[in-house]
Amino acid sequence: MALSSSPQPPESQSPESHTSDPRRSSLPATSGSDHLVITPTYNEADNLTEFLNKLFQFAPLSHVLVVDDNSPDGTGELAKKLSQSDPRIHVMHRAAKLGIGSAYIEGFRWGLAQGYEFLAQMDTDLSHDPQYLPSMFRTVEGGADLVLGSRNVPGGEVEGWGLGRHVLSKGGSLYSRAILNLPVHDLTSGYKIFRRSVLETIPLDAIRSEGYSFQIETTFRAIHQGFKVVEVPITFVDRRAGQSKMSRNIFLEAVAVVWKLKLDALTGKLEPGKA
């Protein structure tokens, strides 16, 4: 693992879920020097430049960490080139395709070490529209501990999916909500912003899941520790370029992980220091 640039560090309870005001904002975030957006990449060269341009349009003071898994299409080299002309962009190069879950974990650890207060996670393929970042950052700055970009609350929606993908996503979320007894409507959302205290509390070393199950697990662990989760409605648009990373195995993993989380919660294994 290698980094293409080193940032200047910024200046340094009951389980519940809420839905924030659904109004979208076209205004840039008013702060951001302590904001880090983490985006894992694998063959996203066709999307990366547009993603970064749009992100900085709505969150111009935020920093971005691109975690690239040695993309054959040159995404890592492109990210490195872009970082050389923009100090807000940082790149973590990993040796192989190691998975989105471990990419976020390494990104979280790096961001915490650098002193960022708010750590966001987003897909590079533009399915997570940066226009929602200002309202999501304001929500977490206003007292939420974890903010989810939600497709399943009033004002949220999905564009461009077929019936099968809708069934996988909504079915997986409903299944997980029922088994884990959670109030969150979009447990499989990958568009999130964490307050650093959440990531300092949940045992990152214990998280081994990927894909949908990674999203379910991190949200469940946050709620289990009593952190406040707020859902902000978003429109999720299916990727326009590149290939989806979704697979049947990712969905099946999520089915199994939900039961493991429930058992671990019942036996006290989710408590800090007992991972």
Domain ranges, ordered by start, for the chain: 15-266
Q: What is the pLDDT of residue 77?
A: 98
Residue 82, SS3? helix
Please state, for a pLDDT cut of 90, what percent of the chain lies above it.
66
pLDDT tier for residue 238 given thresholds of 50, 70 and 90: confident
Fold of 15-266: Spore Coat Polysaccharide Biosynthesis Protein SpsA; Chain A (3.90.550)
- How do residues 263-272 score in pLDDT, each as one tens digit? 999 998 887 7
Q: What is the pLDDT of residue 16?
A: 46
pLDDT for 175 beyond 90: no
pLDDT for 29 beyond 60: no
Average pLDDT over residues 54-67: 97
Q: What is the pLDDT of residue 4?
A: 65
Task: Tell me the two tokens of residue 221.
Answer: 């662990």
pLDDT for 23 beyond 50: no
- Which residue(s) pair with 63 in the sheet? 36
Q: What is the DSSP letter of 182?
A: -
Q: What is the pLDDT of residue 3?
A: 72
- Which residue(s) pair with 18 in the sheet? 230
Going 11 to 35 to 104 to 57, the CA torsion angle's sign is: negative
pLDDT for 199 beyond 80: yes
